[in-house]
Chains A and B, each alone.
Chain A
Amino acid sequence: MTGYVLRRLWQSAVVLLGVSVLVFAIMQLVPGDPIRLALGTRFDPDTYEALRARSGLDDSVPVQYVNWITSALTGDLGVSFRSGETVTSLIIERLPATLSLAGGAILVAILIAVPLGTLSALRPRSPVDWFATLSSQAGLSVPDFWLGIMFILIFAGTLGWLPSAGYTPLFEDPLGWAQHLLLPAVTAGVGSGSILTRFVRSSVLEAIGQDHVRTARAKGMRAGDVLRWHVLRNALVPFVTVGGVQLAYLLSGVVIVEYVFAYQGLGQLAFQAVQSRDYPVLQGAVLLFAVIFLVINLIVDLTYARLDPRISYRSSR
């Protein structure tokens, strides 16, 4: 087990290095530069040259990369070209919004998936099951940006119940936070909820068929207890796996949902960084996304081992 963990950590480090090279290479290949963008159309060549020289963009590409990665290793991700703030502070500023959205969306997903998946597994081929299957297909197929627009049209426009855009920090205004969070969280959560529903259904089905569940039932254990103690516990394994992957996905910036709701999270930050050629910000954000992704995957795989001792790690990869 320790060997496995070490190996996974090593692999993750290699992947992370690869991501850093890739994101750096991408920004080198993208035409346009941040200085020109900051100056806009009305600019003067001398000013442009002076600013460019000062920004370090005139160094050779390998030098720029080495400079960046050595600072990054000491925790210094550089300064945004666009705003002049440090990348770290920009990320920290946006992190609560993204954590709220990812948390909210995963909550929505679970609230959809657990009841719907369990019910449909307990009554296979019933109308409930059909409904669950169809709605999870539908939830998976609906474009999140369209769903978001429809929510805005209905709940913010016609009914006027909820604000259609923006983010309010939790500690400033808890009610405003919840109101701003609701529509984006539901929009982002529907897709994940649909995926989770199918997993809950199939794992519950599988768990019900297992011997110890039949035994427990035969022993006269109450249905609710059987469900709680045996079925759901066994169904937890794939649930944690898929839920973890979904969480990683939601945390690494739900770009489109944030875009539709003008929600100031990390996804918007990264998207704007691409558009404004804000190299340091994009590099910092993507590195963070990669770390989140790798850490969650590692945790998921280890949890998997904990919850289901049948899995051995010798053959993996």
Chain B
Amino acid sequence: MHMADALLAPAVAATMYAASGIAAGVSVKTLRKDETTAKLPTMAVASALVFAGQMINYTIPGTGSSGHLCGGMLLSALLGPQAGFLSMVVILAIQALFFADGGLLALGANCWNMAFYGCFVGYYLLWRPIQRSGLFGKAKAAGRGKIILASILGCVLTLQLGAFSVVLETSISGITELPFAAFVAVMQPIHLAIGLVEGLITAAVLLFVYEARPELLMDVQSGAEQGKCSLKTTLVVLAVVVALVGGGLSLFASGNPDGLEWSMFGNAEAGYSENMGLDEEAYGVSSSAAETAGAIQEKTAFLPDYAFSGSDSAAGTSVSGLVGSAIVAGAAVLICLAGGFFRRKKAAAKN
């Protein structure tokens, strides 16, 4: 779900940076109150673990496709929402810088879409209320049930919110010609399937921690008496749920690890409206909303008044523009060749 720099207008990117920055600032401030230095290595190790853990493929039984771990829910269950959010921010920053997953400008938006919802919304709205509730009774099996429920609901909700934000941010940026409502109609169901699978994997990892070291999990009461429901039965239940729900829905995503990619490729391959069986005209209302948003964006764009008048259509398409562009491109290639020539010469001189 990582957004690239090119998918965002500067104004939208700045807004998202501000929003994520406020969340990070509040987190740092809250964390300062309790001893953060003691927590720092744990946060670093946990985020490094989530980073590596997200590269593991988990086979989804009966489908042939594979799922991944949901980092936000796992980190907030282990570290709490504030520390979890900061850890996610750091993971996303490293992914953007070193692995070209996301981008420097889109970092604010990515933090909001993936870290904020996963850590704060998922934790305060679902994880904590469910763990503190008397749901399923008081036995240890109840603890398992609560962890599974909270993980699945948390992942589904946070992915839905994240996917919706991606659509919203891309549409407001005026990047795509896709009508807003139809774009949403593709993104949400795919991320519902992904959320279910991610929730199950996250639940499995958290259950393991709960069995071995329940004190590591936030807000989970440990020391409850042993119930009848063993890990094995839980996993069997999980398997059935996966096969029924995840399996059916993840057919959408099979072979396409990223839902965002899928929904867009799906659109591109056969033309958007045909692909969805939708009538483009029926979405007139929302496309006009997108146009308004586009107009707002144009007004707030970086130094719009300095551009040549009419450059929107004329400059980019005039013949002299094309000739000039070709000259610049040729110069760029020449610079690369010259650089390579001098590097080789230097290396030869060294030997």
Do A and B make up one complex? Answer: no
Q: Could you list which residues of chain A lie within 8 angstroms of chain B, going by C-beta atoms?
A: none
